[in-house]
Structure 1
């Protein structure tokens, strides 16, 4: 009986100590260089270092341009591997359970700064130790219409 408890304890410790990366798309992200600021827009995290997987990250988004931009509650996360950045995957059920997770619905007015919380719990993603970046997309409301993606790096230790 003691032997069986010992074996189970060792297996549990081994399973808990594994530092496997979360699931990602097979190929690297098509855009490896994504800035934190572009066209007058800036994305900044309140904290960029976490001792364990955060349940949410707080960020500020600033618009110093002369244009208004649409944005939504959706965001995605990329993880740094040896050969570049990879997009983390999550279940499509996330969108059914949280229909507000879209790329539109809010306006970041010219000259404004807002705060937004990005919940990993909504995506049902747990991040092991590693380097990550949060990606946020903005859509121009005026011609010429264009999309801007910004990134904010962070680490989990």
Structure 2
């Protein structure tokens, strides 16, 4: 009996160690499962995703095709598609201490302007494993209401 228990524990240990570590996710799907890539004249587009030394740099553009100047910031959320929906990726609080500019307000996107930004997962302290992800930006309209735009990308 002890031998079978030892074998079972060994199998469980090997199975647990072979799992690929991925990003830490929130325990429940995010409330907004449908987020458009363009809303109120603001468009979000992923330009490229490239890997460098185990980290990913996600290059994206925020474009204002509208007539007003909404607010935005450097902050961007990442979410991963799982079998039952989108789950938010958890960032360490240290991210915000190391980079106080990583906030979702403070900049204005003039009409007709395009802003190119890069989100580096190494700076976030997270690892992306293969799957479908989306980058979500919060925009503040001139009326003070917040809305989100998102763009999807794949990690192979």
Where on the TM-score scale, by shorter chain, does this alignment land: which range?
0.7 to 0.9
TM normalised by structure 1 equals 0.82
Matched, 1:150 2:133: no
Matched, 1:138 2:139: yes
Displacement of 1:147 in angstroms is: 1.0
Matched, 1:85 2:86: yes
- Uncovered stretches (5+) of structure 2, i.e. residues with no partner: 1-12
TM normalised by structure 2 equals 0.82
Aligned structure 1 segments of 4 or more residues deviating by more than 4 angstroms: none
Is the contact between residue 131 and residue 156 of structure 1 (CA under 8 Å) also seen in structure 2? yes
Q: Deviations over 1:22-56 (max 9, x none)?
A: 21111100100001011111000112687x96531
Displacement of 1:119 in angstroms is: 1.6
Aligned residues: 143
Displacement of 1:97 in angstroms is: 1.0
Q: Which whole-Å CA distance do the structure 1 matches of 2:130 and 2:54 have between them? A: 8
- Higher alpha-carbon deviation: 102-111 or 127-136: 102-111
- Uncovered stretches (5+) of structure 1, i.e. residues with no partner: 1-10
Q: Which residue of 2 aligns with 1:124?
A: 125
